[in-house]
Structure 1
Amino acid sequence: MGQGGVALRGRLAAARGAWLVFEDEAGFSMTPPQAKTWSQRGRTPVVRVRGRSRRRISIAALTCYKPGHRSRLIYRPRRDDGNRDGRKSFSWRDYRDLLTAAHQQLGGPIVLVWDNLHVHKAAELREWAASQDWLTIYYLPPYAPDLNPVEGIWSLLRRGWLSNVAFSTPEHLVQRIRRGLRHIQYRSHLIDGCLTVTRLTIRPA
């Protein structure tokens, strides 16, 4: 479908009161991202971290936009239980449940935009999505993270709440992630700013 067709479908969805929702997922480990900080001249700051734990937490997040409404951030965590044979990433059922919860919270139809991750195109998920009259799905072009506002959410987390932190336990990491995401949730201008960076705009139908 050409850009004109996509725009037309988007306008029709907006006329039905749809939310434009972007999705992405990211993994976070016990090793903190590094960021610039202040220190005394000649004394380089050192952050000592525990290197024995390789456990990660994965987050799937949705940024939700609708003209005339406060922008929303919805997310779900998935923790690595350390089981070598256990699944570490989100399954198609996890995405189904996340989208169902988002539909209930937003109270209206959803136009979902996400990347071409293999699980996003799983036959079971596509079959389920086709049966939901409130859900329309579009896929981003390959290798286009700059078009996804959720990337901005990850950047805020890594540059703010997670940078230069010596995590003592996996629970400590989870606590910091939740604190950062809750902060963003209550500040819609941050969510709007993530959309602005992509240079995408949302206009009333």
Structure 2
Amino acid sequence: MTPPTARTWSRRGRTPVIRVRGRSRRRLSVAALVCYKPGERSRLIYRPAPDRRADGRKSFAWTDYRDLISAAHAQLGGPIVLVWDNLNTHLTAGMKKYIATHDWLTVYQLPAYAPQLNPVEGIWSLIRRNLANTAFADPEHLITAVRQELRAIQYRPWLVDSVLAGTGLLLSAA
């Protein structure tokens, strides 16, 4: 809920001020997959999870990632090669067992501390840039704004191609 800040223009001597009504510890977790298949447009598949979940968790559990991967498999209709970072929920015993039981899923771990190789970090950068200097009235306003930004990126496959190309992991996005 605390707004990210960015630079802006104003008249000399007049510093622009954005009033924030109050700070909140509320948060929104989003898991996303950037998908590439030769001969098809690149895709962004995501799942948001507000922190007011029934189970009391404030972040994604390995079962949430499992469900996202299963949904991506159903949507993409083919085998998946998953390249992801070393988040602790990606490395749980339950996730390892899930990966081992599905032959359509191949997983490669990124090296530690290598956000420049993770295309989803580029997606978060685009979202932060577009939401900078926005004071959110309530958690629903934040959720709506993030969903709108993610949908806008989904409908612009060249943005997804650009974050994939920025990692250097993709030789050509055509």
Q: For this structure pair, what is the TM-score category when the shorter chain's length is used for normalisation?
A: over 0.9
Matched-pair contact (CA < 8 Å) for 1:149–1:194: yes
Task: Summarize deviations over 1:20-59 as a string: whole Å, max 9, x none.
Answer: xxxxxxxxxx111111222222211111113342100000
Q: How many percent identity over aligned positions?
A: 66
| Counterpart amino acid of residue 194 in structure 1 | V
Alignment equivalent of 1:144, drawn from 87, 97, 114: 114
Contact preservation (8 Å) 1:67, 1:203? no
CA distance in 2, matches of 1:177, 1:171: 10
One-letter amino acid matched to 1:177: V
- Partner in structure 2 of residue 36 of structure 1: 7
User: TM-score if structure 1 supplies the norm length?
Assistant: 0.80
CA shift at 1:198, angstroms? 1.4
Counterpart residue type for residue 58 of structure 1: S
Report runs of 4+ in structure 1 exceeding 3 Å deviation: none
**Deviations, residues 109-165 of structure 1 (Å, cap 9, x unaligned):** 1000111111111111111111111100110000000001111100000001x1101
Distance 1:64 1:130 in 2: 21
| C-alpha separation in 1, matches of 2:24 and 2:118 | 31
1:184 is matched with: 153
- 2:139 matched to 1:165? no
- 1:11 match: none
TM-score normalised over the length of structure 2: 0.94
Gaps of 5+ in 1: 1-29
Give, in angstroms, the shift of residue 86 of structure 1.
2.3
**CA RMSD, 1 decimal:** 1.7
The answer to whether the 8 A contact 1:58-1:77 is kept is yes
Cα 1:82/1:127, change in 2 over 3 Å: closer
Quick check: which one's strand share is greater?
1
2:33 corresponds to 1:62: yes
Q: Which residue of 2 aligns with 1:135?
A: 105
Change (3 A) 1:82 1:113: closer
> Given the alignment, which residue of 100, 105, 109 partners 2:79?
109
